[in-house]
Amino acid sequence: MIKLLSLTLSLCISAVLFAQQQHNLIIDTKNPIAEVSPTMWGVFFEDINFAADGGIYAELVKNRSFEFRNPMQGWRTVGLSMDKGEALVINRQAEVSSNFRFMRINLANKKEPCGIQNEGFRGMGIKAGENYNFYIQAKTADKNMGMQLELIDENKEVIASASYQQFTNEWQEHHVSFKAGKTVEKAQLKVLFTGEGIIDIDMISLFPENTWKMRPKGLRADLVALLDSLHPGFVRFPGGCIVEGYDLENRYQWKKTVGPIEDRTVIKSRWMDEFRHRMAPDYYQSYGVGFYEYFLLSEDLKAQPLPILNCGMACQYNSKEVCQMDEIGPYIQDALDLIEFANGTTTSTWGKLRADMGHPEPFNLKYLGIGNEQWGPQYVERFIEFQKTLKDQHPEIVLIAASGPTPDERSEYLWTELTKLKAEILDEHYYKDPNWFYTNTTRYDSFDRNGPKVFAGEYASHTKGGNAPESRNNWEAALSEAAFMTGLERNADVVVMTAYAPLFAHKEAWQWNPDMIWFDNLQAMPTPNYYVQQIFSLNMGDRVLPITENNLPLSGQNSLYSSVTIDDSKKELLIKLVNSSNEKKAVNLKINGAKINSKSVMSMETLSSDLDTFNEVGGGNNFEKEVSQIALKSKLLTFDLAPLSVNVVKITLSK
């Protein structure tokens, strides 16, 4: 059982006699060792585990435009025979290049309403009392054609319905709103037609009205709210391996994800069949969430947008395909055009598209990632080309280079080569066991202060080995990440960006485990790893101060790990302390060089638990937080750290 302990900290000027070992810690407020980058704690949105379609994108209809390999995947006919041609999927590829399929329904001689039924993404999450917006593109010459909509529950009972009768003979979007009468986790949608005749339909869509910021066809409000509560410094998107693709054909091409959603080309997700134990044959990318939406999300969260682009290399775990060096031009052009899309004037080609989509103001892009987990000389060669052009034309954009998938000889090679090239930031990834995280809290202590900075771009503690289904988001993993994060913060002069990965997972449709936020069709549940991220990001100061025991930085001695920052505007000390042992630790804390008196306010938050505790979607939250505040009267504090705990002590210094 997780307990969030609100510990009473007692002031103690004279020495206190304890049987247990005392830890005499000293904070030196006069000698800061680093500035903390505002981008220090960010999030990494990756379209894996149904994080986009079926996840943050609030669309409830799967395969809304019949573009999956099997155009009827997710659909079934109701009262119509496809064999008899009563429902036909029609290909108009010669006319349009994306979204080229639509459905033709022929209702000749039908007495009952007939049509199609969609199963949603593992069902549709519907909430009683909420409004839902249905959209359809349709065209019919038959004026008597009507439409009947029904949401049905798992027992086929109708929980919401609506009807409509204003179709025209031109392709046009039609919109119907209705309210649901019942909460259902796995509802389905029937789209039925009445009358005599033929109707063509496409882009069949259902969204809750209550999306993030109530934007029509927007994002799932509860999932974005959880990101918002993290106050992330940046949002990295859209991956991950989907940037690379299984092969170059399957790579992420941002230009195909912007503009009207019906023009965005649906592609197969590379996660569909990556893991045999977690196949997801219905995993596609509709790009309803595309680069415009990612920029907007970053802006909503007041976070720096951090897009990662393909660098002419497909996933090196998969096809290992690379573009020819003399064919790298279009990849670099994509980067130039993206900068124009994000920052260009509204009279520029791509800046105009941004404005047409509803955002004339620039998105203020400052960072751009070149490739995901690339390695080898083939990456260096390609990075050089990107660097040359981008630094020449856009010196203001900070480029983030890859350093392979894990810290090993491949990343050492890239550190050497990319340092020679004066790369600005390198993206490090580590999915390791808890012990690795504990022993690597000092990883960056010895990094060259004059070399590239570090983006700890993907990390997570895996208790049962790399991506094992049995690895859980338990306290054992989260505690080791917290210890490691003190090492990241202590080295804020080298480490400038960090993100846990992956971010989201649908409880039934995941491929990768563990993940920071789990959800089903109705609700989401943060993990202890989420709460560790949050306690760090909400307690981030401007400068790092040294904290020592016996004149050594506290980085694992006696299972204690710490980092301290000061928030200059609030004059607040933020002291993170992790105790990874099974024993309570007694701390005497001395703060040198600061004014602390009876007006100083002190509080301490503690998360602690048994190592195997975790949260489950639909279950209770074992990680509720409490804060107690205590006045401080002198410079020496005495308090205990609970076993297996992550703590933040806040002290407001007197002005």
Q: Is 365 helix (H, G, I), strand (E, B) or coil?
A: coil
In the sheet that holds 172-179, the strands lie side by side as 87-91, 101-106, 198-208, 131-139, 172-179
CB 250 within 8 A of CB 265: no
Residues 447-466 that bind ligand AHR (CB under 6 A): 458
Sign of the alpha-carbon torsion through 358, 360, 366, 369: positive
CB atoms within 10 A of CB 508: 15
With CB under 6 A as the contact rule, the residue among 54, 405, 526, 556 that binds ligand AHR is 405
Spacing of C-alpha 78 from chain mean position:
38
321 part of the interface to ligand AHR, by CB under 6 A: no
| Single-letter residue type at 345 | T
The neighbouring-strand residues paired with 146 are 194
343 HSE (CA, 13 A, CB side): 15
Q: Total residues at the site for ligand AHR (CB under 6 A)? A: 13
Q: Which of 140, 372, 539, 638 binds ligand AHR (CB under 6 A)?
A: 372
CB of 244 to ligand AHR, least distance (A): 8
- 240 sits near ligand AHR (criterion: CB under 6 A): yes
Q: Do the beta carbons of residue 621 and residue 528 sit within 8 Å?
A: no
For the record, the structure tokens of 597 come out as: 């008196």
Q: Quick check: 373 binds ligand AHR (CB under 6 A)? A: yes
Binding to ligand AHR (CB under 6 A) within 46-85 occurs at: 46, 48
Q: Is 556 in the site for ligand AHR (CB under 6 A)?
A: no
Contact present, 384 and 421 (Cβ < 8 Å)? yes
Query: Distance between terminal CA atoms of the chain?
Result: 40
> How many CA atoms are closer than 13 Å to the CA of 257, on its beta-carbon side?
23
Smallest gap, in angstroms, from Cβ of residue 49 to ligand AHR? 9
CA–CA separation, 89 and 96 (whole Å): 15
- Among the candidate windows 30-38, 237-245, 300-308, 632-640, which touches ligand AHR by CB under 6 A? 237-245
* Nearer CB in complex with ligand AHR: 200/428: 428
Site string for ligand AHR, 492-511 (x = CB under 6 A): ---------xx---------
Of the candidate spans 155-163, 184-192, 235-243, 478-486, the one that interacts with ligand AHR by CB under 6 A turns out to be: 235-243
Which pair of structure tokens corresponds to residue 489?
Answer: 């913060």
Which lies closer to ligand AHR via its Cβ, residue 29 or residue 374?
Answer: 374
Give the shortest CB-213-to-ligand AHR separation in angstroms: 27
Q: Is 241 in the site for ligand AHR (CB under 6 A)?
A: yes
Residue with Cβ nearer ligand AHR (291 or 512): 512
Among 167, 367, 475, 512, binds ligand AHR (CB under 6 A): 512
Query: For ligand AHR, which is the closer residue by CB, 46 or 417?
Result: 46
Min separation Cβ 510 and ligand AHR, Å = 11
The smaller minimum CB distance to ligand AHR, of residues 53 and 458, is found at 458
Q: Please state the closest distance from residue 311 (CB atom) to ligand AHR, in A.
A: 14
Please give the residues from 30 up to 49 whose contact with ligand AHR meets the rule CB under 6 A: 46, 48
Nearest residue (CB) to ligand AHR, 49 versus 194? 49
Q: What is the DSSP letter of 313?
A: B
Q: Which residue from 239, 288, 290, 369 is in contact with ligand AHR, where contact means CB under 6 A?
A: 239
Q: Which stretch binds ligand AHR (CB under 6 A): 190-198, 236-244, 442-450, 525-533?
A: 236-244
Q: Which residue has the tokens 């002190």?
A: 602
Beta bridge partners of 401: 370, 426
Cα distance between residue 456 and residue 448, in whole Å: 16
Residue 379 touching ligand AHR (CB under 6 A): no
Return d(Cα 30, Cα 34) in angstroms, integer.
12
We find the least distance from the C-beta atom of residue 275 to ligand AHR, in angstroms, to be: 11
Question: Residue 204 Cβ, how far from ligand AHR at the closest point, in Å?
Answer: 30
Asked whether 45 and 294 are in contact (CB, 8 A), the reply is yes
Distance CA 293, CA 57 (A): 10
Tell me the DSSP string of 81-146. -TTTTSEEEEE-TTT-SSS-EEEEEE-TT--S-EEEEE-BTTBEEE-TT-EEEEEEEEE-S-TT-E
Using the contact rule CB under 6 A, the part of the chain among 102-110, 234-242, 246-254, 417-425 near ligand AHR is 234-242
Measured from the CB atom, the residue of 230 and 560 that comes closer to ligand AHR is: 230
Least separation, in Å, of the C-beta of 431 and ligand AHR?
7
The CB-of-405 to ligand AHR minimum distance in angstroms stands at 5
CB nearer ligand AHR, residue 475 or residue 512: 512
Residue in the block written with tokens 């682009």: 309
Rule CB under 6 A: is residue 115 a binding residue for ligand AHR? no
- Residues designated catalytic: 373
Contact partners, residue 322, CB within 8 Å, separation at least 6: 248, 312, 313, 314, 378, 382
Binding residues (CB under 6 A) for ligand AHR: these are 46, 48, 239-241, 372-373, 405, 429, 458, 501-502, 512
